[in-house]
Amino acid sequence: MANPLIMKFGYPVDLTEDDHAELERITTHARPVGPRTDLAREGDRPEVVRLVMRGLACRYQRLSDGSRQIVSLMLPGDMCGLHIVILGELDHSIATLSACEIVEIPRTTIKRLTETNPRITRALCWSSMVDQGILRNWLASKGRRQADRQLLHLLCELLVRFEAVGLAEGNSFPLPITQEEMADILGVSTVHANRTLQWLRAEGLATFYGGRITILDRKRAWELASFDPNYLHLKRRS
Amino acid sequence: MANPLIMKFGYPVDLTEDDHAELERITTHARPVGPRTDLAREGDRPEVVRLVMRGLACRYQRLSDGSRQIVSLMLPGDMCGLHIVILGELDHSIATLSACEIVEIPRTTIKRLTETNPRITRALCWSSMVDQGILRNWLASKGRRQADRQLLHLLCELLVRFEAVGLAEGNSFPLPITQEEMADILGVSTVHANRTLQWLRAEGLATFYGGRITILDRKRAWELASFDPNYLHLKRRS
DNA sequence: CGCAGCGTTGACAACCTTCAAATTTGGTGG
DNA sequence: CCACCAAATTTGAAGGTTGTCAACGCTGCG
């Protein structure tokens, strides 16, 4: 089975055989974690970087009124918390959505890598910058699109990101979440998330069934969402 | 006059005298740039990191319908584009809002710093992570707060950030932007931005006059906005 | 069977946008 | 100093989008 981290890091850098071996070694001891389980909470001072190898996880913030906003989705190959190396308290929480397999990388390992392996260091940096780009894009989407286009844009993004780690099948990818969680991603109410999903179906753009998204009309979806994958920076270096 | 970059980098690390001299040297040749001027556009492949020494700048994204979302504000001491070192094309634009003084740091300088000075490297990394935290916070704010609380939260954040670089005066700080630009930050219409600002005034929370924000009732503002400055990571290391 | 979680629906209210127009502000030239 | 103009702010009214509340149905599971 392909290693999502190695696939992902192949985009920004040309990994050597040794790099492959190194990354393979780091990712061997994945720990299973049940669905909807907090991996770290706001205020924690975690000592490890967490890497998703299987399943879907997220970062979220809870506001004082109890509402929740999911601020990023972590697919296989995504990691959270390079910032753990730098900062003190976590300013958001991290949780699984589906059942996951998680690797916990001690900060010492990260330290060693950054001191000895420039290619992997570069990939780590790249990954953090891509996360930042996604965040900017979500913010712009939330700020300037209505919920239906925002949802469509999100699905376009996820299809591309799943493809990048070899986990898309045709125009479909796994998204084992409830509509309530979808609402927390979009920053809308559960009721409105439901109606927005119905619009997707009615328009024949995509379906959400059995924890899977299938994009039915990719071309029209891209157009309607004015989706431009540039911000994912997945072009291999020429 | 205090150097905002040195003030800012003093938070995450204990800079040595040599570090001060190094940063001072880097920031001497600031270039004046007029207000509302693009420094870089989406799709560019910039070769420099830009640092704001005076004035206010921003990053923004323009959507296909022409609407604009400002996705971050750059105060003195803030820089844009560490990701320039890593990635190819810029996925957003960068522009001044007010008249600014900008330092352009060649990538070779950044490269040298990261290879030779671990404290400054750490500060650069920290700065990037804080930016990411702010982005997450803006997203959560946009997703889960109504416009009035979102505005209030933004002003609380800016007051703290201006204080951190020694540019706040009491409970006020410069914000030389139009209401249209404010609307692009909040992701609302100009009309609604105006009405939201009026609410601020009517509630006696803050004023926006002559390009300056004054927070009149800081305690109540923090409470109403449920503001927690933790995500700015400005606590000095103990 | 009964329960709990999830998805769906309708009605209504709140929030926000749009459009158009009026008013104020700030800068420029006479 | 004043007239003038452009830009920015403010206002009202109408309509679209989204939230809230409450109810109902479906599904899977003990």
Give CA–CA dist B118/B12, Å, rounded: 12
Chain B contact for A11 (CB, 8 A cutoff)? no
Tokens 């670089």 belong to residue = B165
Chain B contact for A132 (CB, 8 A cutoff)? yes
pLDDT per residue, tens digit, chain B (238 aa), is 689 999 999 999 999 999 999 999 999 999 999 999 999 999 999 889 999 999 999 999 999 999 999 999 999 999 987 777 676 899 999 999 999 999 999 999 999 999 999 999 999 999 999 999 999 999 999 999 999 999 999 999 999 999 999 999 999 999 999 999 999 999 999 999 999 999 999 999 999 999 999 999 999 999 999 999 999 999 876 5
Across chain A, mean pLDDT equals: 95
In sequence order, the 6+-apart residues with CB closer than 8 A to the CB of B140 are A61, A63, A69, A71
A108 class by beta-carbon count within 10 Å (0-12 exposed, 13-18 middle, 19+ buried): exposed
Chain A residues inside the 8 Å CB shell of B138? 139
Q: Mean pLDDT across the stretch A9-35?
A: 96
- Residue A237: is its pLDDT beyond 70? no
In DSSP terms, which residues pair with A72 in a beta bridge? A59
Protein contacts on strand D: list nucleotides below 7 Å from a Cβ.
7-13, 17-22
The DSSP result for B59-127, as a single string, is EEEE-TTS-EEEEEEE-TT-EE-THHHH-SS-SSEEEESS-EEEEEEEHHHHHHHHHH-HHHHHHHHHH
Chain A contact for B133 (CB, 8 A cutoff)? yes
Instruction: List the 48-107 stretch of A: residues with Cβ below 8 A of B.
Output: 59, 61, 63-65, 67-69, 71-72, 82-83, 85-89, 91-92
Radius of gyration for chain A, computed over Cα atoms and rounded to the nearest angstrom: 18
Chain A residues inside the 8 Å CB shell of B183? none
In sequence order, the 6+-apart residues with CB closer than 8 A to the CB of A28 are none
Tokens 């990388």 belong to residue = A105
Chain A residues inside the 8 Å CB shell of B226? 63-65
Q: Mean pLDDT across the stretch A28-44?
A: 95
pLDDT band per the 50, 70, 90 thresholds, residue A82:
confident
Residue A186's SS3 state is: helix
What residue type is assigned to position B122 of the chain? R
Of B78, B237, B232, B235, the residue nearest B167 (C-alpha): B78
- Residue A204: is its pLDDT beyond 60? yes
Q: Check: CB of residue A215 under 8 Å from CB of residue A206.
A: yes
Q: Residue A178 CB closer than 7 angstroms to strand C?
A: yes
Region for residue A226 given its phi and psi (left: phi exceeds 0; alpha: psi -120 to 50; beta: otherwise) = left
Tokens 């005066």 belong to residue = B169
| Token reading at A214 | 């299938």
Q: Mean pLDDT across the stretch A166-182?
A: 98
| Token reading at B169 | 């005066």
pLDDT band per the 50, 70, 90 thresholds, residue A238:
low
